[in-house]
């Protein structure tokens, strides 16, 4: 009995020590990610005014057209901080302030991280939702009206289905793939038709739109993936919407460890515009695609107790298959 009580006391002490450590290391002042109610209120007011957004949010969409190649330059679509993006940021800021929830998430993540992937942990906790583009930004890229409807959408690596929902509003049938079991539960709850990671190419039908969002740099065979997408699109009218984090840094998570992919895409250039040009003129052409539109957008993710949100730099392409 004494031994059991000792173990219980040690566990409680460990939990309390862990919480104390989190409190001690929490970033109270990190530029825009301040935690005081006044600063939080000021920032939320700032992002509420698109035309007067902070310098950082303006940089998310900035492009120097002169640095783009001649073929790509006229295809660039300028995007801006819009209402849907602002709403996502507000929700992220609000959720990051739920202290007991954030402690719980941090504790569970620490316990489970040696056993399962970060994606599955987020799916289990119902956190880490992503934002790639708004409904208006999608319509601008695809050049479609709000009432436009297509037949089939396939979202590869759909996560919790947050971005799938934005695209799915325009399609009668919505299909998705995902490897994380908790994320699959979220997709099934939203009534999307789940396909196996090798099943989507062998359904007997083709898709009007396939999305491959921030998957190319986390795939073991990215060029083969693009060739499979090419074969699976409706000829002539089918489109691929592809988002890639730049600078392009491919890593694959296998068994909880990160390693280089078997098939490596080398993207040339240091600047965002240079890598966009290289992807357009060499990588996509190699597998039978040409660029129809491209824009620069922030790849946003809900934050935690340290940051209100996380942001990566995305290039979002609309690609059409070229028949040889």
**Count of H-run helices and E-run strands, the chain:** 12, 10
In a domain, 235, yes or no: yes
Tokens representing 158? 């759909």
Least confident of 104-118, 222-236, 267-281: 104-118
- Residue-range definition of the domain harbouring residue 268: 67-252+260-321
Confidence tier at 258 by pLDDT (50, 70, 90) = confident
Higher pLDDT, 200 or 260: 200
Determine the distance from the C-alpha atom of residue 283 to the mean position of all C-alpha atoms in its chain, rounded to a whole number: 21
Strands 193-194 and 171-176: parallel
Q: Which residues are within 8 A (CB) of 181 and not within 5 positions of it... i.e. 6 or more apart?
A: 120, 123
Cα distance between residue 116 and residue 102, in whole Å: 19
In a domain, 296, yes or no: yes
In a domain, 51, yes or no: no
pLDDT computed for residue 118 by the predictor: 58
In a domain, 59, yes or no: no
In a domain, 303, yes or no: yes
Per residue in 66-100, pLDDT (tens digit) is 999 999 999 999 999 999 999 999 888 877 654 54
Query: Which residues are registered as beta bridge partners of 316?
Result: 243, 295
The 8-class DSSP code of residue 115 comes to T
Across the range 104-124, mean pLDDT stands at 51
Query: Which residues are registered as beta bridge partners of 309?
Result: 302
Q: State the CATH number of the domain containing residue 127.
A: 3.40.50.150
Tokens representing 157? 């690596």
Q: Which residues are within 8 A (CB) of 231 and not within 5 positions of it... i.e. 6 or more apart?
A: 201
256: phi > 0 → left, psi -120 to 50 → alpha, else beta; which? left
Tokens representing 232? 């699976």
In a domain, 58, yes or no: no
pLDDT computed for residue 130 by the predictor: 86
Q: Evaluate if pTM is beyond 0.85.
A: no
Q: Which residues are within 8 A (CB) of 277 and not within 5 positions of it... i.e. 6 or more apart?
A: 67, 68, 69, 72, 269
pLDDT computed for residue 311 by the predictor: 93
Per residue in 205-255, pLDDT (tens digit) is 999 999 999 999 999 999 999 999 999 999 999 999 999 999 999 988 776
Per residue in 302-321, pLDDT (tens digit) is 776 667 788 999 999 999 99
Name the domain count of the chain: 1
Q: In this model, does residue 52 exceed pLDDT 60?
A: no
Q: In this model, does residue 43 exceed pLDDT 60?
A: no
In a domain, 83, yes or no: yes
In a domain, 4, yes or no: no
Across the range 119-146, mean pLDDT stands at 79
**Beta carbons of 119 and 180 less than 8 angstroms apart:** yes
């Amino acid at each position: 009995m004494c031994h059991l009580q000792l173990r219980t006391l040690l566990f409680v002490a460990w939990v309390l020590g862990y919480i104390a450590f989190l409190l001690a290391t929490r970033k109270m002042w990190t530029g825009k990610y301040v935690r005081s109610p006044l600063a939080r209120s000021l920032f939320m007011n700032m992002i509420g005014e698109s035309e007067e957004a902070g310098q950082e949010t303006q940089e998310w969409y900035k492009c120097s057209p002169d640095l783009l190649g001649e073929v790509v330059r006229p295809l660039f679509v300028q995007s801006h901080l819009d209402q849907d993006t602002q709403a996502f940021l507000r929700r992220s800021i609000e959720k990051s302030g739920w202290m007991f929830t954030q402690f719980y998430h941090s504790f569970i993540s620490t316990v489970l991280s040696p056993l399962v992937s970060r994606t599955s942990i987020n799916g289990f906790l119902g956190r880490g939702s992503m934002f790639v583009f708004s409904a208006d930004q999608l319509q601008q890229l695809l050049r479609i009206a709000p009432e436009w409807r297509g037949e089939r959408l396939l979202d590869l690596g759909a996560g919790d289905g947050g971005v799938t929902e934005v695209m799915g509003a325009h399609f009668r049938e919505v299909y998705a793939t995902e490897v994380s079991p908790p994320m699959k539960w979220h997709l099934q709850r939203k009534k999307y038709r789940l396909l196996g990671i090798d099943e989507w190419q062998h359904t007997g039908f083709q898709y009007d739109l396939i999305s491959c969002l921030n998957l190319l740099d986390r795939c073991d065979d990215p060029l083969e993936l693009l060739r499979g997408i090419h074969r699976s699109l409706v000829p002539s009218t089918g489109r691929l919407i592809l988002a890639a984090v730049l600078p392009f840094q491919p890593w694959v998570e296998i068994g909880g460890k990160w390693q280089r992919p078997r098939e490596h895409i080398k993207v040339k250039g240091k600047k965002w515009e240079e890598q966009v040009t290289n992807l357009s003129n060499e990588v996509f052409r190699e597998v039978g695609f040409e660029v129809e539109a491209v824009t620069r957008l922030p790849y946003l993710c809900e934050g935690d107790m340290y940051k209100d949100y996380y942001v990566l730099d995305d290039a979002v392409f609309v690609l059409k298959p070229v028949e040889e």
